[in-house]
């Protein structure tokens, strides 16, 4: 693709003026001068097409980064042809649009441009191409060529480092079989016996078994573990530019997930991916963040419907953390009917509600009155309600809801 | 990148030096054309570099006081320009004033060029100055300025664009891994590519640029460098090269003897190649000086010596009255400016028929033949302009012209020597009697001369007492322009057609660079003028068989002159033996070209055949590259793949037929609907390729039919609803 620049228009205009002047006063030198200008314009439009040929680009950079992080990305431009390439621009849309200028890439040489790009959006960024541009040598026209340059990077959601979260403390002992894990430790429940190891307390020696075995045998106890935390994210819709409603949901979910994992809790996460609702899946730190990074608005089932489907998979879950924006389908009656069965089963339910009205959404959102109704409906069925209007509200999740009020 | 950055001061010393050099070259070019007064010239040479240096040092300062002073200086320069241009009477006057203004603008601007775009303004102003110099230049020496100017401008274009592109880019650390070849070779190759492309483009544009006649806005230029009055001027021609007026013993080495009071056909010798004048004109023409109407068998003279004096009437132009017979042919205005390079007689040369003359003497004399004389000699560096109304004629208009001339006119222009040999008259009738019109008779005579006589600059001398035309026509059959023109005039007069001999210069070679016709002494020429009643005098050149016609579109382009110039260069540069070979090759090519033109149907067939053969070769290559067209089960599977590739499911090379079928069934609704047909195609293909038993013919037919049904279904599905 060749795009004529203002300088090219100027050269052609100058050539026309000189031609007219030359015609009027019959001056041959003006025709020569006019031809030089027009020749430079024509040549300057043709040469850039050669300059962007025979070049390939390879991109190198990390696989993951957090939103807001400056990511180092290297672009290696190789000239496979015999002639040097001058004034080469490389436009790379990957992660954040970047433009690099290479004054010269010699024959067979590789020039590496190291850039830093701010990861501004959560998500999986797949780059297929970069655009090579050149307006060399005269800048009268710019030639563009798109070359393949595959690349993939997961931009993890912004997370806020949180301390101990109040809603886990209350959910540890509740639930049917959720509070006891399978790991051995310093708990009160008897798990079995084993041979004495150096450092074991003599108080734990199981004397009958020691007598039978002929050597020291100690009792082994089950370790008490916090209960599982299930995080369900509403991916029905999204709105906003820059950091969107779904991005904020992911920030909330990611922050809570990391805090829970740091506290030794097991986490399970669910949300609608594509057309299908995912079941609650046990995840580690990296898996959780990658899962959140990949979330995109599904447009499938609204959140209350998703909750009905997720209810069946809450076995072993002590606390349920729901993150959802105030989309119209998340109105009080439907959310009440979805959450009430969960609290009735003894689950500790916390709802982090993202105020979607501030994102300038075209998707219908709840009115202030409806938001108040939603809060009271959720509270009426025993759920804890936290409002999130921005990243700064995420830190408030550390506090008890009463303190906040 | 940002607005703030765009207004940054330009720190590149290289860019500033290049722009300064561009400015100095352009000022030098104007100076070389003598368009600057010494004070402006000296001032600009000192002030522009000083201003540039000061501007570089103060590029980051606001310079408010300096700007005020510069604005005042600019107003003063503009006022000076307006006062000068107000009194300009010719285009040259205005151009010189404009040149001074541009130089002062450059001087003033040089003191305040903090930014890159200010430097760009300097370059644009320099282009204007160069254009000014180009318009004033009449010789190729302007190239000495244009070449470095072009090189420097290319450097400026490159440097400034590179700086812009680097500025617009994001900050990055660049590391070059020097794994490649030598950097110099690659750079040279890239530079050579750019230079070749630009040179070819410039050449093509130059050759394709048409040269149209211009519009006269102001008076054309005229000036006098050295006034040498003709002593006792009475209207007669005074030729300094022929002090005795071209009497016996004169030779052509002294100068063309026809510029005087007679043209003697017995004079021999070769004219030199000295440049006598440059002519700026939109098209070639004979630069006519004199005409003769009386032939005595050896020489031409003028029978009428009356002349009319004409002077300027308030303006710079001198109107030239038409003293000849009435002329009603349509005319076109041709403005010519003559730049005299070598002393010439007091003849005002110009294309026939002059109507206005801009001449540095306020008075001229015009005779009844339309020839103009001045009271001063044409000294070197004299400039004058002639506005002519050239008759526009065509073969049809000339054929339709009348055949009745006034008796006195007929007597004057059909005069013949008393002792003219009867065989000349017989020959004239023999050539022309079968021709129906005057025009056809003229052309017949011209044609006869070109086929029965040969041109030479060194014909044998005439024996004493013979009629020169008779001797030329029947004995010698060789001669130069005067012999050809005289013979034609005499033959036409012999059958009653009024004709006269005109002398002057032929157009000369048009300089490819300046566009000016460069007229040399050897371009002095004689030709014939024939009068068509009611139309006009029409010029005929039997020497070169120049037909009377409009110059046509071809004359509007410089390409023929370029080819001629290249030919002249090669003729000088190539050694003799090679010239013979080249001449033979050229003749062969020309013969072939003529044959092709004559036998155009055969040529057309030949071209068509070549195109067909080329198309066949290309097709065969494509087929070879693609491999043979698939058949049988292969064709069915290929059709299946093509159908679904068009729907966005191309088959990767690594996918087996079965895997591809499964992928289609998973991804495409149409595939699911056509599951049975797909299964048939794939199964047959697998059997043909991989099974120990090839499929039956009926199975292959079924597979092809299945592939066809899938394709048909896909077409129906893909059609817009409106078509369906």
- A108/B181 CB distance under 8 A: yes
β-pair partners for A172: none
> How far apart are the C-alpha atoms of A329 and A322, rounded to whole Å?
15
Q: Is B155 on the interface with A (CB under 8 A)?
A: no
Please write the tens of the pLDDT for every residue from B272-302: 888 999 998 888 899 999 999 999 999 999 9
> How far apart are the C-alpha atoms of A32 and B561, rounded to whole Å?
14
- B180/A107 CB distance under 8 A: yes
Give the lowest-confidence range in A309-323, B209-223, B449-463: B209-223
Is residue B505 within 8 A of residue B350, CB to CB? The reply is no
Specify whether the backbone of B313 is left (phi greater than 0), alpha (psi in -120 to 50) or beta.
beta
Q: Is B117 on the interface with A (CB under 8 A)?
A: no
Is residue A378 within 8 A of residue A336, CB to CB? The reply is yes
Is residue B633 within 8 A of residue B687, CB to CB? The reply is yes
> How far apart are the C-alpha atoms of B204 and A40, rounded to whole Å?
12
Residue A110 phi/psi, 5° resolution? -125, 125
Task: Output the average pLDDT for chain B.
Answer: 85
Range A290-312 burial, b when 16+ CB lie within 10 A, else e:
bbbbebebbeebbbbbbbbbbbe
Is residue B505 within 8 A of residue B286, CB to CB? The reply is yes
Please write the tens of the pLDDT for every residue from B125-175: 999 999 989 988 888 899 999 999 999 999 999 999 999 998 888 887 777
The sheet that has B307-311: what strands, in order across it? B307-311, B363-367, B372-373
> How far apart are the C-alpha atoms of B185 and A270, rounded to whole Å?
61
Is residue A71 within 8 A of residue A117, CB to CB? The reply is yes
Q: Is B142 on the interface with A (CB under 8 A)?
A: yes
Those residues of chain A that have pLDDT short of 70 are 168-191, 221-227, 274-278, 311-314, 401-405
**Burial class (CB within 10 angstroms; exposed 0-12, middle 13-18, buried 19+) of A268:** buried
pLDDT score at B99:
80
Mean pLDDT is highest, among B249-263, B433-447, B645-659, for: B433-447
> How far apart are the C-alpha atoms of A257 and B338, rounded to whole Å?
95
Dihedral sign for Cα B235, B241, B244, B245, please.
negative
Is residue A141 within 8 A of residue A183, CB to CB? The reply is no
Count how many residues are written for chain B: 724
E strand residue ranges, A93-250 = 98-105, 110-118, 123-134, 141-156, 180-195, 217-224, 228-233
> How far apart are the C-alpha atoms of B433 and B446, rounded to whole Å?
14
Is residue B274 within 8 A of residue B521, CB to CB? The reply is yes
> How far apart are the C-alpha atoms of B366 and B307, rounded to whole Å?
5
Among residues 256-295 of chain B, which lie with CB inside 8 Å of chain A?
280-282
Confidence of residue B228 (pLDDT cuts 50, 70, 90): confident
Q: Closest by alpha carbon to A145, among A43, A7, A48?
A: A48
Residue B295 phi/psi, 5° resolution? -120, 130
Residue A389 CA: distances (Å) to CA of A243, A245, A266, A394, B364: 12, 9, 27, 9, 99
Q: Is B33 on the interface with A (CB under 8 A)?
A: no
Please tell me which of the candidates B91, B177, B198 has its beta carbon nearest to residue A39: B198
Count how many residues are written for chain A: 405
Is residue B581 within 8 A of residue B230, CB to CB? The reply is no
As a whole number, mean pLDDT of residues B594-604 equals 78
pLDDT score at A277:
59
Q: Which residue has the higher pLDDT, B694 or B523?
A: B523
As a whole number, mean pLDDT of residues B541-546 equals 76
Please write the tens of the pLDDT for every residue from B291-333: 999 999 999 999 988 888 898 877 788 899 888 777 788 888 8
Q: Is A49 on the interface with B (CB under 8 A)?
A: no
> How far apart are the C-alpha atoms of A22 and B210, rounded to whole Å?
11
Please tell me which of the candidates A51, A82, A100 has its beta carbon nearest to residue B169: A100
Strands A228-233 and A267-273: parallel
pLDDT of B549 higher than 60 = no
> How far apart are the C-alpha atoms of B135 and B94, rounded to whole Å?
12
Residue B440 phi/psi, 5° resolution? -65, -35
pLDDT of B339 higher than 60 = yes
Neighbours of B333 (CB within 10 A): 14
> How far apart are the C-alpha atoms of A33 and A18, rounded to whole Å?
7
What is the nearest CA distance from B145 to chain A, expressed in angstroms? 11
> How far apart are the C-alpha atoms of A40 and A22, rounded to whole Å?
18
Give Cα B650 distance to the centre of its chain. 56
What is the nearest CA distance from A5 to chain B, expressed in angstroms? 11
Q: Which residue has the higher pLDDT, B247 or A328?
A: A328
pLDDT score at B547:
47
This prediction has a pTM of: 0.69
Neighbours of B33 (CB within 10 A): 20
Neighbours of A240 (CB within 10 A): 16
pLDDT score at A181:
38
3-class DSSP assignment, residue B475 = helix
> How far apart are the C-alpha atoms of A147 and A151, rounded to whole Å?
13
Q: Which residue has the higher pLDDT, B221 or B86?
A: B86
Q: What is the ipTM, given to two decimal places? A: 0.71
What is the nearest CA distance from B522 to chain A, expressed in angstroms? 23
Is residue A266 within 8 A of residue A230, CB to CB? The reply is no
Range B465-497 burial, b when 16+ CB lie within 10 A, else e:
ebbbbbbbbeebeebbbbbbbbbbbbbbbbbeb
Contacts of A106 in chain B (CB under 8 A): 176, 178, 180-181, 183, 186-187
């Amino acid at each position: 693709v060749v795009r004529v620049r203002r300088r090219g228009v100027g050269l052609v205009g100058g050539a026309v003026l000189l031609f007219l002047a030359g015609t009027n006063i019959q001056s041959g030198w003006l025709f020569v001068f006019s031809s030089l200008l027009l020749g430079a314009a024509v040549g300057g439009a043709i040469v850039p097409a050669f300059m962007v040929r025979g070049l390939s680009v390879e991109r190198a950079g990390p696989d993951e980064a957090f939103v807001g992080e400056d990511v180092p990305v290297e672009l290696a431009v190789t000239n496979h042809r015999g002639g040097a390439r001058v004034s080469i621009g490389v436009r790379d849309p990957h992660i954040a649009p970047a433009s690099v200028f290479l004054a010269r890439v010699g024959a067979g040489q590789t020039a590496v441009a190291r850039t830093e790009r701010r990861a501004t959006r959560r998500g999986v960024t797949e780059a297929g191409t970069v655009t090579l541009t050149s307006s060399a040598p005269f800048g009268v026209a710019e030639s563009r060529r798109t070359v393949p340059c595959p690349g993939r990077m997961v931009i993890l959601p912004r997370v806020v480092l949180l301390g101990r979260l109040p809603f886990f403390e209350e959910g540890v002992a509740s639930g049917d079989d959720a509070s006891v894990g399978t790991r051995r430790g310093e708990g009160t429940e008897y798990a079995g016996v084993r041979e004495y190891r150096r450092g074991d307390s003599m108080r734990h020696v199981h004397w009958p078994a020691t007598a039978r075995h002929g050597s020291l045998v100690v009792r082994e106890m089950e370790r008490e573990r916090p209960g599982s935390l299930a995080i369900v994210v509403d991916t029905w819709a999204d709105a906003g530019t820059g950091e969107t409603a779904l991005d904020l949901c992911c920030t909330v979910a990611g922050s809570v997930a990391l805090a829970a994992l740091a506290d030794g809790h097991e986490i399970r996460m669910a949300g609608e991916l594509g057309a299908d609702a995912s079941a609650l899946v046990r995840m580690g730190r990296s898996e959780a963040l990658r899962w959140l990074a990949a979330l995109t608005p599904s447009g499938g089932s609204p959140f209350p419907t998703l909750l009905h489907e997720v209810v069946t998979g809450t076995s072993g879950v002590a606390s349920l953390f729901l993150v959802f924006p105030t989309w119209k389908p998340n109105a009080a009656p439907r959310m009440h009917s979805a959450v009430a069965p969960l609290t009735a089963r003894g689950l500790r339910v916390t709802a982090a509600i993202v105020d979607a009205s501030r994102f300038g959404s075209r998707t219908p959102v709840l009115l202030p009155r409806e938001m108040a109704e939603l809060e009271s409906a959720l509270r009426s069925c025993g759920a804890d309600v936290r409002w999130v209007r921005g990243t700064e509200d995420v830190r408030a999740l550390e506090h008890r809801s009463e303190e906040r009020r | 990148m940002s607005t703030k950055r765009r207004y940054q001061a330009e720190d590149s010393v290289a860019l500033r030096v290049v722009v300064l050099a561009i400015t100095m070259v352009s000022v030098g070019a104007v100076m070389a054309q003598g368009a600057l007064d010494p004070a402006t010239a000296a001032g600009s040479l000192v002030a522009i570099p000083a201003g540039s240096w000061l501007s570089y040092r103060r590029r980051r300062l606001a310079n408010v006081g300096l700007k005020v002073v510069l604005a005042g200086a600019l107003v003063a320069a503009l006022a000076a320009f307006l006062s000068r241009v107000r009194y300009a009477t010719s285009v040259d006057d205005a151009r010189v004033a404009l040149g001074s203004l541009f130089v002062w603008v450059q001087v003033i601007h040089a003191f305040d060029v903090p930014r890159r775009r200010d430097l760009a303004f300097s370059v644009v102003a320099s282009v204007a100055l160069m254009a000014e110099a180009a318009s004033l230049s009449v010789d190729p020496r302007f190239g000495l300025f244009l070449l470095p100017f072009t090189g420097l401008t290319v450097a400026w274009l490159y440097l400034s664009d590179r700086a812009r592109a680097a500025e617009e880019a994001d900050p990055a650390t660049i590391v070059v891994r020097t794994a490649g070849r030598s950097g110099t070779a690659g750079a040279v190759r890239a530079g050579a590519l750019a230079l070749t492309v630009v040179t070819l483009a410039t050449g093509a544009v130059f050759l394709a640029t048409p040269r149209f006649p211009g519009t006269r806005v102001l008076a054309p230029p005229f000036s006098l460098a050295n006034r040498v009055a003709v002593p006792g001027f009475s209207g007669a021609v005074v030729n300094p090269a022929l002090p005795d007026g071209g009497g016996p013993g004169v030779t052509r080495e002294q100068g063309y003897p026809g510029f005087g009071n007679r043209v003697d056909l017995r004079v021999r010798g070769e004219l030199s190649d000295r440049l006598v004048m440059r002519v700026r004109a939109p098209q070639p023409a004979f630069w006519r000086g004199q005409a003769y109407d009386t032939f005595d068998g050896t020489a031409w003279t003028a029978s009428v010596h009356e002349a009319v004096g004409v002077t300027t009437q308030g303006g710079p132009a001198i109107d030239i009255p038409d003293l000849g017979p009435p002329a009603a042919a349509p005319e076109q205005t041709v403005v010519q400016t003559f730049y005299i390079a070598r002393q010439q007689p007091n003849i005002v040369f110009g294309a026939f028929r002059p109507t206005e003359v801009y001449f540095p003497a306020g008075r001229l004399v015009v005779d009844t033949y339309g020839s103009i004389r001045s009271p001063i000699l044409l000294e070197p560096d004299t400039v004058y302009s002639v506005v002519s109304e050239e008759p526009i004629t065509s073969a049809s208009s000339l054929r339709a012209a009348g055949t009745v001339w006034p008796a006195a006119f007929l007597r004057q222009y059909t005069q013949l020597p008393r002792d003219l040999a009867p065989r000349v008259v017989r020959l004239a009738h023999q050539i022309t009697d079968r021709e129906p019109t005057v025009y056809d008779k003229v052309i017949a005579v011209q044609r006869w001369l070109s086929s029965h006589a040969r041109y030479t600059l060194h014909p044998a001398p005439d024996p004493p007492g013979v009629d020169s035309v008779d001797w030329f026509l029947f004995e010698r059959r060789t001669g130069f322009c005067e012999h050809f023109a005289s013979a034609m005039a005499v033959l036409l007069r012999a059958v009653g057609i009024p004709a006269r001999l005109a002398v002057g210069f032929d157009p000369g070679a048009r300089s490819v660079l300046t566009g000016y016709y460069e007229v040399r002494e050897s371009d002095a020429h004689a030709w014939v003028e024939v009068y068509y009643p009611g139309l006009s005098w029409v010029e005929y050149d039997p020497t070169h068989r120049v037909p009377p016609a409009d110059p046509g579109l071809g004359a509007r382009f410089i390409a023929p002159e370029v080819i001629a110039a290249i030919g002249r260069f090669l003729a000088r540069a190539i050694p003799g033996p090679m010239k013979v070979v080249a001449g033979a090759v050229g003749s062969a090519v020309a013969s072939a070209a003529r044959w092709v033109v004559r036998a155009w149907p055969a040529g057309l067939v030949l071209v068509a055949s070549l195109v067909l053969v080329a198309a066949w070769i290309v097709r065969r290559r494509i087929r070879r590259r693609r491999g043979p067209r698939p058949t049988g089960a292969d064709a069915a599977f290929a059709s299946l793949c093509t159908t679904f590739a068009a729907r966005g499911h191309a088959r990767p090379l690594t996918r087996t037929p079965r895997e591809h079928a499964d992928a289609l069934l998973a991804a495409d609704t149409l595939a699911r609907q056509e599951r049975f047909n797909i299964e048939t195609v794939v199964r047959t293909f697998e059997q043909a390729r991989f099974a120990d038993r090839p499929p039956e013919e009926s199975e292959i037919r079924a597979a092809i039919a299945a592939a066809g049904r899938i394709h048909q279904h896909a077409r129906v599905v893909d059609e817009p609803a409106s078509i369906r």
